[in-house]
Structure 1
Amino acid sequence: MGVKEGFSYGARLSSIVGWLGYGGNLTWRKQEHFIEYVFGIPISQGSLAKMHKWFQESLEPLTQQWLKYIQQPGIRCVDETSYCIDGIKYWVWVATSNEVCVLMLAPTRSSAEVEKLLGADFKGILTSDCYSAYFRQSAMAKQKCLAHLERELESLKTSRFQANREFAADVQQVLATARIHYRHYHARNLTLEDLGSKRTEVENSLQKIFKATPKKGWPYDAQRLINRLKRHWEEWFTFLTYPEVKPDNNDAERALRPIVIHRKVSGGVRSDWGAELVTQMFSFLETMRLQGQNSIVQLCKLLSLAGRSPPGLEM
């Protein structure tokens, strides 16, 4: 079971190698040393290269299934980070749902890449930061990440301008109130109708802060955030209308963290197929984590299909 034709190593050993390289961030040289020292099995760099090609062939159909799923209506968190291929900067884009994560490698950081990831006519709810590439993406509704905003407000609390400090404290209080309403709903202390009315109250409180302009006007930093809040006015408290939506973009950031660590350890990859494998493998590992599956066991099962199509996506 799980033996690839013309290859000396089976799916079980190969799946362990796959986890060592991406879950454990070991270099090929360290993978070779680990397998020989722990299992007593000599393995060459050439055999490791064949294993990684096997990973890519096996993961490709599955990642295409997941990409189609991600483009269907639902709640999606998105983010991006840089990644180098042979010293040239590329971008890894990520989209997550409750049970599936897809990473995609692209040469640019433009809105065209977001459309490739989510499709031209995405009808779900999109959670993101305020990066401009997400502005043009279609969606039924959007949620801007409150955590990003809260970090900027926290930095304003050390400003030498009193108006900045007061503005930051007042807006933080409004955001904290919105989060309290959200928690109360999930604790079943509020109805959905109640939650909707709380959104109106929160937005009215924010408007009052905007209108309380100091005599000399808002300092630059506060005004910049006011402009951003107004620009995305409908997108800050979507989670109070659709409480299945989270107020933060933490899911996407969490999904990117392993590839950021891998980037720091490896410095990137040297080939296009190697870069494609990186996104496929980290999509697989994060999806397995979301589904509560053992990634080594599931990778072994996938490799054991020996070229047959993977099972359909079960959600």
Structure 2
Amino acid sequence: MLGDEFAGVLSSDDFSVYADVEVGVLQKCLAHLRRHFKKVLQMGHGNNIIVASAFLDLIDQAFRQHRKWRQHPEELDYHTWARDFKVSVAVLLNTWQGHVGYAAGLLLRSLREKAHQWWYFLDHPSIPPDNNLAERSVLLGCD
């Protein structure tokens, strides 16, 4: 569907099929990431609760800040927040990597190894942090 030379930003969930798609940039959907952390939270054991809660708070903050930017595009404020947000993510990853259960560990590894895909919107706020519009467009095209 994208052709051989798609150079745009592909907004997608984190389904593994997208790993081999050659695109200019991939922005993974934070709504899907949020769902994954909610599942980890519901597992309810060990450090998973602490880590999942912390990441759910950060993801919710990211959605609020991005919505605020869309309503009032203040570049400096947004980029200052984004810089601080990246620090918060790095601190959480460094603190908890290796100290959580299997499911949370997979998410933390993905956040570390594919940060450029999860957090692309932080440096490019014109790109939404989720793929909701893309999913709605596909669903509307199926009618």
**Superposition TM-score, scaled by structure 1 size:** 0.42
Secondary structure of 2:43's counterpart equals coil
Please state which structure has a larger fraction of its residues in helix.
Answer: 2
Q: Which runs of 5+ in 2 are unaligned?
A: none
Match of 1:187 among 61, 66, 71: 71
1:221 aligns with 2:112: no
Partners of 1:128 and 1:144 within 8 A in 2: yes
Q: What's 2:117 paired with?
A: 235
Secondary structure of 1:253's counterpart equals helix
Secondary structure of 1:207's counterpart equals helix
Match of 2:79 among 186, 196, 200: 196
Q: Residue 140 and residue 210 in structure 1: after superposition, are their counterparts in 2 closer, same or farther (change >3 A)? A: same
Taking the aligned partners of 1:197 and 1:126, their CA distance within structure 2 comes to 25
Residues 206-245 of structure 1: per-residue CA shift (max 9 Å, x gap):
111112238x822111111111112211122222322222
Match of 2:129 among 239, 247, 261: 247
Taking the aligned partners of 1:137 and 1:160, their CA distance within structure 2 comes to 35
Give runs of aligned pairs for residues 1-315 of structure 1, distance below 5 A: 117-188=1-72, 191-213=74-96, 217-257=99-139, 282=141
Measured after TM superposition, the shift of residue 149 of structure 1 is 0.7
Please state which structure has a larger fraction of its residues in strand.
Answer: 1
Partners of 1:143 and 1:236 within 8 A in 2: yes
Taking the aligned partners of 2:20 and 2:76, their CA distance within structure 1 comes to 30
Taking the aligned partners of 2:9 and 2:139, their CA distance within structure 1 comes to 23
Partners of 2:27 and 2:118 within 8 A in 1: yes
Partners of 2:46 and 2:100 within 8 A in 1: no
Taking the aligned partners of 1:194 and 1:140, their CA distance within structure 2 comes to 27
Measured after TM superposition, the shift of residue 144 of structure 1 is 0.3
Identity %: 27
Secondary structure of 2:14's counterpart equals coil
Partners of 1:126 and 1:141 within 8 A in 2: yes
Residues 112-140 of structure 1: per-residue CA shift (max 9 Å, x gap):
xxxxx112121111101112222233333
AA matched with 2:4: A
Taking the aligned partners of 1:244 and 1:186, their CA distance within structure 2 comes to 8
AA matched with 1:204: V
Q: Which runs of 5+ in 1 are unaligned?
A: 1-116, 259-281, 286-315
Q: Residue 194 and residue 140 in structure 1: after superposition, are their counterparts in 2 closer, same or farther (change >3 A)? A: farther
Residues 172-192 of structure 1: per-residue CA shift (max 9 Å, x gap):
11112212221221221x522
AA matched with 2:129: P
Taking the aligned partners of 1:193 and 1:167, their CA distance within structure 2 comes to 29
Residues 81-138 of structure 1: per-residue CA shift (max 9 Å, x gap):
xxxxxxxxxxxxxxxxxxxxxxxxxxxxxxxxxxxx1121211111011122222333
The alignment of Structure 1 onto Structure 2 pairs a total of residues equal to 143
Measured after TM superposition, the shift of residue 256 of structure 1 is 4.2
AA matched with 1:205: S
Which gives a bigger RCO, structure 1 or 2 (Cα 8 Å, sep 6+)? 2
Partners of 1:195 and 1:241 within 8 A in 2: no
Structure number with larger C-alpha Rg: 1
Partners of 2:66 and 2:125 within 8 A in 1: yes
